[in-house]
Amino acid sequence: MSNSASTTPIVPVIMAGGSGTRLWPVSRETMPKQFIAIVEDGMSTFQTALRRVSGPEFSAPIVVTGEEFRFVAAVQMQALGITGEIVLEPERRDSAAAVAVGALIAARQAPDVVCLVMAADHVVHDDAAFVSDCLAAAEAARDGRIMTLGIVPTRASTAYGYIELGEPLASPGAHALARFVEKPDSARAEAYVEAGFLWNCGNFLFAADTMIEELAERAPEVLEAAREAVASGARDLDFLRLDAQAFRAAPKISIDYAVMEKTARAGVVRASFGWSDVGTWDSLYEVKPADEQGNVLEGPVSVLGTRNSMVRSEGPLTAVVGLEDLVVVATPDAVLVAARDEAGRVKDLVAQLIGQGHAQATEHLRIHRPWGWYQRIDIGDRFQVKHICVNPGGTLSLQRHHHRAEHWVVVHGTAEVTIDGEVKLYHENEAAYLPIGCVHRMRNPGKIALKIIEVQVGSYTGEDDIVRIEDVYARA
Amino acid sequence: MSNSASTTPIVPVIMAGGSGTRLWPVSRETMPKQFIAIVEDGMSTFQTALRRVSGPEFSAPIVVTGEEFRFVAAVQMQALGITGEIVLEPERRDSAAAVAVGALIAARQAPDVVCLVMAADHVVHDDAAFVSDCLAAAEAARDGRIMTLGIVPTRASTAYGYIELGEPLASPGAHALARFVEKPDSARAEAYVEAGFLWNCGNFLFAADTMIEELAERAPEVLEAAREAVASGARDLDFLRLDAQAFRAAPKISIDYAVMEKTARAGVVRASFGWSDVGTWDSLYEVKPADEQGNVLEGPVSVLGTRNSMVRSEGPLTAVVGLEDLVVVATPDAVLVAARDEAGRVKDLVAQLIGQGHAQATEHLRIHRPWGWYQRIDIGDRFQVKHICVNPGGTLSLQRHHHRAEHWVVVHGTAEVTIDGEVKLYHENEAAYLPIGCVHRMRNPGKIALKIIEVQVGSYTGEDDIVRIEDVYARA
């Protein structure tokens, strides 16, 4: 290891590709929990993760996420004034492939640059402590170790894997890692806590070349697929799109199984910060302040004779009577009621809902697009009504419908509307009519959001009756 | 009693003025449970009550209901092809005043005509048995008795008053009534069931003159107020509107306290029909067929590891995980989650919600009007969107707004729109614009429902910015 490395900032590799189904119905596959302000008002955990590693100890982050989340990731980084590399996975191939990609891209800066692989959906209660633990781990990483941050257990949880510490390393606070143990039963969990084992939270620090060497030895197919996917990747707007064919060759395996449980170089730093993976509604309940009855109440909710429960609404007035240890989460199009200690089964529930063909299982009512979002507000026989919001500068594709006419009423901002080649501005309280078959486009030329109520009338109002003729976001 | 009376049909007096708050959020003060298809698809309990007494044994019903329910009561009777007297109470004065009004109006046909006072919100499982029990009770009523229908208990309920039977009367199946007992504790309830006591379901049969005599003796203020309210009542369209000042003089007292518990003439027929007052979600759960897990599932719902629960949705996808003995009821704007055995406390919950200022405590999202209904589908800063449905022949008031313009898009049917005196027809997929301050009216001149999407734009979109200039339903 060169001496100069010790002053090089750490490269955060933020894993933001998860689907977060256990926090359904707020988190859904098309807009998962890491991008939603689910813990902190107005800020997603992806954003709090970015903020956590925005100090001088870190360089610009590498964000690894799914193709479908590229715009939301970019917008949320932009909102914090943070720039970085956004790497797009064509599909989920588990964490080993994502870590390999991160290490390979970071290694372009310097082969031995230290990387911090961190999840975009965790909560850390003390960012300064997190940074200082990272610096301690980074020192050991520069000595060739692959370091984990081990969380001091707050209870004998059966939901996490555990870490047994080995002998102290040269770097202060760092230990060798004696062994990883799988998620235990509750008797074993108590014994582990008793013996001073730590939780494996899945955040790692390593020098890029160390990880690449380990992958080459223990998961060569993963490494080769990742190397090829990066090398043949394409730049699209501000994104690095991994080569799909190459990336799909990577075996689906976690970094824990592929490397961490096998390597002789694993180490651990005992975390000095409070942590939660907010993986379930129950764990979210645990990190939120409760009232005197032990309830966490969010949004328009009201309870009577109810204790130790989480009741959260993003729309409907939600009332709970005479119950305990419950999670109730209401959104405008889906409601979850679960026993708190069964909250982990929401993942199975979502699989069941998908099997039953419920669109709400994976899609939100509000559909995000590169130019803003839209939301259905009414539907009936031969008509549909949408609320459309176009960001300043946003442009919808030039398009045509075969089966519906549309009425657009501007309720906020200014619209530039093109109908069969004719361009006209529409202001608040003005309406445009788009007959069936016309070629049209909407753009927000202004400085504030454009909001439109769109009334569709016709024999078919499905989303697939769009002929895209031209699109600034390359979707035509 | 004259002999001729024995062939005269029974006059049903249907009490349809209740507020049904314990079935919130489906039942709300502005549209309570008796008018909602809550038990049977497409038919309210008010309608099943009307149907139950539509045979030749009965004459046209007298419906006693609130001023605010006059149109829904009329429309629901019309749907069944049933005509009758609709008597409007200016406010709720409990059951003694309503029974007095019913008896006084029925007595106009013949002083000794037999009346059947029945609730509009009960479920009867065998209409033929109900009719035959009524005929048995009517015979005793013609002998001067005030007869109740006593329900054979299916469990030792503490939710009902009980009836002890006395000696048999001359009419077959009829007994004198030994005594009424108040809702008991569970030990007493078991003793009562053991001893063959019956539930008091609050349905009565009596000759009009018998009841009037008893009221004159035991509740003269109630009778006088009712007599004056009927005598000074006004006919309004097809309704008999009781005189408000006179009616408000009636003491608020139930017919049980005022007469039944004091009279020496009380009798009882043991009911041979299954019955439920569906007063709570739990009792509704009891009358519905359950699946193998003991669940009653209605609407877009999905359960996992859940038993003996009622899950009902009128909109949002509603999922329950790992729970038992629960009631979950979801509507587009309100959600209830309650322990089944605490379902009676929903009444207290609604009082709490009213105190907290939640409109959903008393108002439905869909607001019924004489001409049809409307429903808000979106609202934001300086705009609101409504779905409006106008029945064939329905006419909205001639009106003006000071603070908003309106865009109307016809999505079904045909609208006749008047704007500042100019009348024009609009068909499906046509839009009308109503500038701020214009005098306008909408009418459905067609044979099918007219559906309009209304987009309001302006500085204030509250319901009270309506200047009504003229109204066919006398609301101007």
pLDDT 10s digits, A356-377: 999 999 999 998 888 999 999 9
How much is the pLDDT for A165?
A: 95
pLDDT 10s digits, A50-84: 999 999 999 999 999 999 899 899 989 999 999 99
B356 in contact with chain A, both atoms CB, cutoff 8 A: yes
- At B4, is the pLDDT very low, low, confident or very high (cuts 50, 70, 90)? very low
Other beta carbons within 10 angstroms of residue A420's beta carbon come to 11
What is the radius of gyration, based on Cα positions, of chain B? Answer: 25
- At A298, is the pLDDT very low, low, confident or very high (cuts 50, 70, 90)? very high
Nearest-CA residue of chain A relative to B324? A339
- What are the two backbone dihedrals, phi and then psi, of residue A406, each rounded to the nearest 5 degrees? -135, 140
How much is the pLDDT for B236?
A: 81
Whether B476 shows a pLDDT value over 70: the answer reads no
Whether A246 shows a pLDDT value over 70: the answer reads yes
- At A7, is the pLDDT very low, low, confident or very high (cuts 50, 70, 90)? low
Mutation target vs B (from A281, A295, A303, A304; most B CBs, 10 A cutoff): A304
Whether B347 shows a pLDDT value over 70: the answer reads yes
- At B1, is the pLDDT very low, low, confident or very high (cuts 50, 70, 90)? very low
B177 in contact with chain A, both atoms CB, cutoff 8 A: no
Are the C-beta atoms of A50 and A44 separated by less than 8 Å?
no
pLDDT 10s digits, A120-152: 999 999 999 999 999 999 999 999 999 999 999
Mutation target vs A (from B303, B307, B321; most A CBs, 10 A cutoff): B321
C-alpha to C-alpha distance for B336 and B358, rounded to whole angstroms? 14
Choose between B138 and B3: higher pLDDT. Answer: B138
Structure tokens at A462: 């499905």
How far B394 CA lies from chain A's nearest CA (Å)?
Answer: 21
pLDDT 10s digits, A258-267: 999 899 999 9
C-alpha to C-alpha distance for B426 and B446, rounded to whole angstroms? 11
Among candidates B342, B407, B428 on the partner chain, residue whose Cβ is nearest the Cβ of A431? B407
What number is the average pLDDT over the span B275-301?
94
- What are the two backbone dihedrals, phi and then psi, of residue B143, each rounded to the nearest 5 degrees? -90, 10
What number is the average pLDDT over the span A186-207?
94
C-alpha to C-alpha distance for B189 and B386, rounded to whole angstroms? 51
- At A40, is the pLDDT very low, low, confident or very high (cuts 50, 70, 90)? confident
Instruction: For residue B324, give Cα distances in angstroms to A12, A305, B294, B305, B344.
Output: 46, 17, 10, 9, 17
What number is the average pLDDT over the span B8-23?
94
Mean pLDDT computed over every residue of chain B: 94
pLDDT 10s digits, B144-183: 999 999 999 999 988 889 999 999 998 888 999 999 988 8
C-alpha to C-alpha distance for B240 and B293, rounded to whole angstroms? 49
C-alpha to C-alpha distance for A68 and B86, rounded to whole angstroms? 60
Please tell me the least confidently modeled range out of A33-47, A236-250, A459-473, B117-131.
Answer: A459-473
Say whether B451 and A342 touch across the interface (CB within 8 A).
Answer: no
Whether B5 shows a pLDDT value over 60: the answer reads no
Whether A2 shows a pLDDT value over 60: the answer reads no
Q: Is the ipTM of this complex over 0.95?
A: no
Question: Per-residue b/e over B103-142, b at no fewer than 16 CB within 10 Å?
Answer: bbbbbeebebbbbbbbbbbbbbeebeebbbbbbbbbbbbb
Phi-psi region of A338 (alpha: psi -120 to 50; beta: other; left: phi over 0): beta
Of A75, A82, A78, which Cα lies nearest the Cα of A372?
Answer: A75
How much is the pLDDT for B91?
A: 92
**To which H or E segment does residue B191 belong?**
helix B186-194
Are the C-beta atoms of B208 and B111 separated by less than 8 Å?
yes
How much is the pLDDT for B470?
A: 87
Q: Where are the beta strands (DSSP E) in B160-316?
A: 162-168, 174-181, 198-207, 234-236, 239-241, 266-270, 275-276, 296-298, 301-304, 310-313
How much is the pLDDT for B36?
A: 93
Structure tokens at B105: 């109006």
Instruction: For residue B432, give Cα distances in angstroms to A149, A425, B79, B408.
Output: 64, 20, 32, 5
Domains of chain B (ranges plus CATH)?
Answer: 4-276 (3.90.550.10), 284-357 (no CATH), 366-470 (2.60.120.10)
Are the C-beta atoms of B292 and A333 separated by less than 8 Å?
no
How much is the pLDDT for B473?
A: 78
Say whether B319 and A342 touch across the interface (CB within 8 A).
Answer: no
> Exposed, middle or buried: residue A162 (CB in 10 Å: 0-12, 13-18, 19+)?
buried
Other beta carbons within 10 angstroms of residue A40's beta carbon come to 11
pLDDT 10s digits, B386-442: 999 999 999 999 999 999 999 999 999 999 999 999 999 999 999 999 999 999 999
Q: Helix (H, G, I), strand (E, B), or coil: what is residue B455?
A: strand
How much is the pLDDT for A461?
A: 87
Whether B188 shows a pLDDT value over 80: the answer reads yes
A360 in contact with chain B, both atoms CB, cutoff 8 A: yes
What number is the average pLDDT over the span A243-248?
96
Walk across the sheet containing B398-400 and list its strands.
B422-426, B415-419, B440-443, B398-400, B467-470
Are the C-beta atoms of A323 and A350 separated by less than 8 Å?
no
Are the C-beta atoms of B312 and B328 separated by less than 8 Å?
yes
Say whether B333 and A318 touch across the interface (CB within 8 A).
Answer: no
C-alpha to C-alpha distance for A335 and B330, rounded to whole angstroms? 8
Residues 6+ apart with CB under 8 A from B90: B67, B241, B242, B243, B244, B247, B248
pLDDT 10s digits, A390-401: 999 999 999 999
Among candidates A323, A335, A405 on the partner chain, residue whose Cβ is nearest the Cβ of B429? A405
- At A41, is the pLDDT very low, low, confident or very high (cuts 50, 70, 90)? confident
